[in-house]
Amino acid sequence: MTARPVPHAHTVRSRRAPRLTVLASLVALGAVVLTGCSEDAEEPAGTGEPVVVKVTLTDDTISPVGEVVKVKPGEPVSVEITADHAGELHVHSNPEQSLAFEDGTVTREVTIDTPGSVDVESHDPATTVFRLQVQ
């Protein structure tokens, strides 16, 4: 009867180490993937509170210019307009909308139900004030 060699502990460990490394990597990858998915799933579906965009019109100066505002379909957007003259902002949605304002501060609300990009512009002076990115 010949004796079988007994594997040394370091030999057993070296065979298992690659398996454990692969297993640990898969577990870590799974945690990253699940965390990424859960962040998206945990985004509020809409708190009912409108997204607020502040617009200032002074003489021929408008602020903001070209700002992108991300909203969900059906999420209300409250546009707070402070101006030193009366005017109108045009919401290039379907159907188009307009936000009339007077001298002073006024708040108008807009809701876009269809995903996509919607420009809100001033035609005097001709400027894209902000873009609603509905997604």
Handedness of CA 105, 97, 85, 68 (dihedral sign): positive
And the tokens for 40?
């998206």
Per-residue model confidence as pLDDT tens digits over 33-68: 333 433 333 344 455 688 999 999 998 899 999 999
Per-residue model confidence as pLDDT tens digits over 72-112: 999 999 999 999 999 999 999 999 999 999 999 999 999 99
And the tokens for 27?
């577990």
Task: Select from 3.40.710.10, 3.30.470.20, 2.60.40.730, 2.60.40.420 the CATH code of 51-134.
Answer: 2.60.40.420
Q: Report the predicted TM-score, pTM, of the whole model to 2 decimal places.
A: 0.64
Most confident range, picked from 21-25, 101-105, 125-129 = 101-105
And the tokens for 118?
């919607």
